Structure 1
Amino acid sequence: MEKLEEIIDVLDQMKNIIRFVHLGDIPENDLEIDLWAELDLASADVYGILTRYSDVESSRKVKREEIDFLVSVRLKNLNDLSAKINLEDYPHMEINFLIISYTIKILERYYKLINEGNIN
């Protein structure tokens, strides 16, 4: 249970970071625009889920489909698009990519812990 509470603390911190981090201006090239748009969508999806995580019990309201969508669609799209451009040229997008992709991975790990019988 202690591990889950620590993860909830981290997720709460990520929620605050996501709320205040600036995505930056819309780039001019197609691939960069696609990544910018995907970051915007993923950020909204992740933030929406994080607003429901205040404790172990409330986090059970998140459906498996939501987490699966974040991992199989949003994270995959972010990884695919970021591999095609040099993120270092876009510092706002780079920090957003790191924050969002990391948060999705934490959400996935947390969801597995609470739904695989590792807690009561």
Structure 2
Amino acid sequence: MHRDLSREQFERIGAGQLTTPDGLTYSRRTTKTARRVCDQRIGAGSPLVIYFWAAGQVDYVDGVDAQRRWQEVRTAVTQHPRVGGDVVYTAGIWVDGDGRELVVLTGHC
């Protein structure tokens, strides 16, 4: 499932919190996570959120759609964003109160 959360969640995600369409609230735990860790989390079923401040975008993707979208953006994930050029993402792991994890990609240009 893919859902645009920009209207509901744009301000909250910038402050380190996000409520997903299923009503779970996640908080930022890490902001610089390696691609291999994201591979593991998304492969195990963690949802994916793509946050791109400059475009006002917050997209939530889960299930098979999360795995597909992750493969599309995986090569653009870096731990050291560079200025200028193509959009790159830093990855973070966010958790809810019960320890469920969510992968959040933050876009940089």
- Identify, as 1 or 2, the structure richer in helix: 1
Same fold, TM-score > 0.5, yes or no: no
- Taking CA–CA contacts closer than 8 Å with sequence separation of 6 or more, which of the two structures ends up with the larger relative contact order? 1
- Identify, as 1 or 2, the structure richer in strand: 2
TM-score (norm 2): 0.31
